[in-house]
Structure 1
């Protein structure tokens, strides 16, 4: 299975909404945000992840977002489209749509109301992967999906399904990244999805960092990656600790909420998050403004 050479900083845009609770996807703002991420030097763009509020979009909004984001990326960098749904049928449909629209890879997050056993997880991933020809990234994010995938299970899926070729590990436990490396002799590309673990994850051998942080602070995020790749640990530590307060704040306050507030502070109105999520409150916005000013 061949595909795009994914590595480095994979940027996750929010999904901008027009004003009002019934506001649909603001494709012009989404295009502007994608342009900013690509122009900043991010190595790939991944719409419709958790940051993109994919769980809060209806089907037509999801299709609109996928098409608009892929059109804006326009092949300038690899595009990884997030695919998540409670049902395998809908996940297959979205994965196929993403492939037709030009995605270079799909990132599959299993979601569950009823707890899934290993047999059900394997069938879900296998059916989605079999429905497309592009590479599939396994996404483990138990905090949002209700499904926790062990390193052993993820490695097993990579071994048994040809186009499942990489993993995004977002449990917040760096030991799992070490385990992924151990189980595959360092051959499996895995990506860090936990912002506060960025430095540790690179030290553990992560191929890249999947993050919404470039929406607000692309310079320091990319500088960290450059320092790591150059083997300059002193610079990497300095750059990481400088951005860590922002990383912790946006994660702690909920990525759609905090990133949209930060974008507004930076002059790009991405609208409010979709209810039941609420916009960042005034004290939170003031604190975020202070943090962004300190790192500028």
Structure 2
């Protein structure tokens, strides 16, 4: 396993990609978003993932995001880059571009679109690790985005044992399998294999049973809140951790504000994160990338009410 970086832990939000009204990358807003995260105490940032609309951006836009973030972070925390595409060759090209930009780690899903066998998924990650070289490679376990494929715990543990994977971001929403993965890691003696949850609403419990950290989309909006949960659990104060998680659980209602009869769930959730950041003055425009449908003024106003309830304005 690559040893060039410390084990990933703590709060590592998957950053949104701010866009201008012309749908270009808004680098000024991206810089403000980074300042918002670093001030909040995060231990890393993850760009070009699901929240970052990485699969919706052109290669040129992706490169702009990578170069802007690496330059602005300037080594203060690790920068993880999503390398997500349908085939190993295409993902490998994204890995190479991220390496040139100077990121600290890669996060990749299994291949999708074509039906794949577990043996082919293993080949996929093994090939990507060879492209990444000494840079840590993390698996992104997100079944709804890749044709329903759930990465088997035994596969991830074995790839960790082989030094192919440095860890996993589990966004499956399956708490039982996540807990089993933590136990399997312990049985395998893979202390350096990082396990991060992608669930915004069960962070306190996941940390309590041994997960190393969280990659929360809602962390774009309130990174400091998630840092407080992490710190409280680390200090053994589970009452404080639960209270903060309960507040963020209520704030997560922003993803239900948009009218689902006129847009998809992804548009509603990501649009809510961007609208909240817009209302907080962090980004200049709440637009999401095509073909996502933007939130209307009434929906954005409703998100403002929830920000007020959460004590963020």
TM range (shorter): over 0.9
- Indicate conservation of the 8 Å contact 1:134/1:163, yes or no: no
Which consecutive unaligned segments of at least 5 residues does structure 1 have? none
**Match of 2:8?**
6
- Indicate conservation of the 8 Å contact 2:10/2:213, yes or no: yes
**Match of 2:40?**
40
| TM-aligned CA deviation for residue 207 of structure 1 | 0.4
**Match of 1:193?**
198
| TM-aligned CA deviation for residue 145 of structure 1 | 2.2
**Match of 1:182?**
183
| Equivalent in 230, 239, 258 of residue 234 of structure 1 | 239
CA distance in 2, matches of 1:113, 1:121: 13
| TM-aligned CA deviation for residue 42 of structure 1 | 0.8
Question: 2:215 is paired with a residue of what secondary structure?
Answer: strand
**Change in 2 beyond 3 A, CA 1:248/1:139:** farther
**Match of 2:260?**
none
Are residues 1:67 and 2:82 paired? no
CA distance in 2, matches of 1:258, 1:74: 29
**Match of 1:256?**
270
Structure 1 length normalisation: TM-score? 0.93
CA-atom RMSD in angstroms: 1.7
1:1-296 mapped onto 2 (5 Å cutoff): 1-2=2-3, 3-20=5-22, 23-132=23-132, 133-146=134-147, 147-160=149-162, 162-185=163-186, 187=191, 188-250=193-255, 254-267=268-281, 268-296=283-311
Structure 2 length normalisation: TM-score? 0.89
| Number of residue pairs aligned between Structure 1 and Structure 2 | 293
- Indicate conservation of the 8 Å contact 1:191/1:210, yes or no: yes
CA distance in 1, matches of 2:145, 2:276: 22
| TM-aligned CA deviation for residue 282 of structure 1 | 3.6
- Indicate conservation of the 8 Å contact 2:92/2:128, yes or no: yes
| TM-aligned CA deviation for residue 288 of structure 1 | 1.5
CA distance in 1, matches of 2:17, 2:138: 21
CA distance in 1, matches of 2:146, 2:295: 23
Question: 1:131 is paired with a residue of what secondary structure?
Answer: helix
CA distance in 2, matches of 1:110, 1:58: 21
- Indicate conservation of the 8 Å contact 1:256/1:273, yes or no: yes
